[in-house]
Amino acid sequence: MGYPFQLPELGYASDALEPHIDTRTMEIHHGKHHQAYTNNLNAALEHHPELHSHSGEQLLIDLSAVPEDIRGAVQNNGGGFVNHKLFWEIMAPNGSNFPTEEMSGLLNGSFGSFDQFKQTFSAAAATQFGSGWSWLVVDSDGRLQVMATANQNSPLSCGCVPILGVDVWEHAYYLNYQNRRPDYLAAFWNVVNWTAVSEKYSQTK
């Protein structure tokens, strides 16, 4: 997928993640915020046809190759586009709750247990100051790590491939959870699509 970028479909109804993520939040988050990142990314790239064949991921992997006059816009809006695309893909109605057998073994090997992974991931999300994300990534050595990024920065720009992420910008949860970010993070685990996460891991090999 390259320029002009199009807003990806959710793949499920806006109310499908109720009660964990409410319908109105999904409508605004996907239809307004993600659409704005898409529009702004297209606007930044409009006069740079040499980049039109690049996917969003390719742009973020090598930001140094993006002209300086649009680099910040591509980092912010390209990140917003790509980050949200993954976010919708790794959630599903009545999420699987537990990882696949392969992913379970990987998480146990990397973090000691699935519960310890959840604690580490949620702590990174809960303590991210201001807006940002918490991620499960595959690093350049093929290892699983948890990391947090500010704003719409992408792990791709740091040489890591995200396979699971949670958005902790306030627009992701404030209508339903107000300032209770930990409650939102606890609810998030109910809608994680571990089959999708495992598929994303397999694509990194």
Task: Read off the pLDDT of residues 41-96 as tens digits, 9 standing for 90 and up.
Answer: 999 999 999 999 999 999 999 999 999 999 999 999 999 999 999 999 999 998 77
Say yes or no: 57 and 126 in one domain. no
∠ at Cα 197 (123, 175), nearest 5°? 55
Asked whether residue 108 falls in the same domain as residue 139, the answer is yes
Quote the DSSP letter at residue 113.
S
pTM above 0.85, yes or no: yes
Q: Which residues pair with 158 in a beta bridge?
A: none
Q: Which residues of the chain have pLDDT under 70?
A: none
Predicted pLDDT at 148: 98
Residues 33 and 72 in one domain: yes
Provide the residue range defining the domain that includes 119. 101-202
- Residue 2: inside a domain, yes or no? no
pLDDT of residue 110: 98
Contacts for 75 with CB less than 8 Å, ≥ 6 apart: 60, 63, 66, 152, 153, 157
Residue 145 phi/psi, 5-degree rounding, is: -140, 155
Q: What is the dihedral of CA 120, 180, 7, 57, to 10 degrees?
A: -20
Considering the domain architecture, whether residues 36 and 113 belong to the same structural domain is answered as no
